Amino acid sequence: MSSVVKKRRKKMSKHKYDKRRKKNRHKKK
């Protein structure tokens, strides 16, 4: 299971993290 989670994290690494970072910045402001 850990290998599957790692592969999934690598695929949505940049795509999802980018959207989450932008939302986090808005929440901080």
Residuewise pLDDT in 10s, the chain (29 residues) = 667 766 666 666 666 666 666 766 666 65
| Model pLDDT, residue 29 | 57
CA–CA separation, 7 and 23 (whole Å)? 24
Whole-prediction pTM? 0.18
| Model pLDDT, residue 3 | 72
CA–CA separation, 24 and 29 (whole Å)? 9
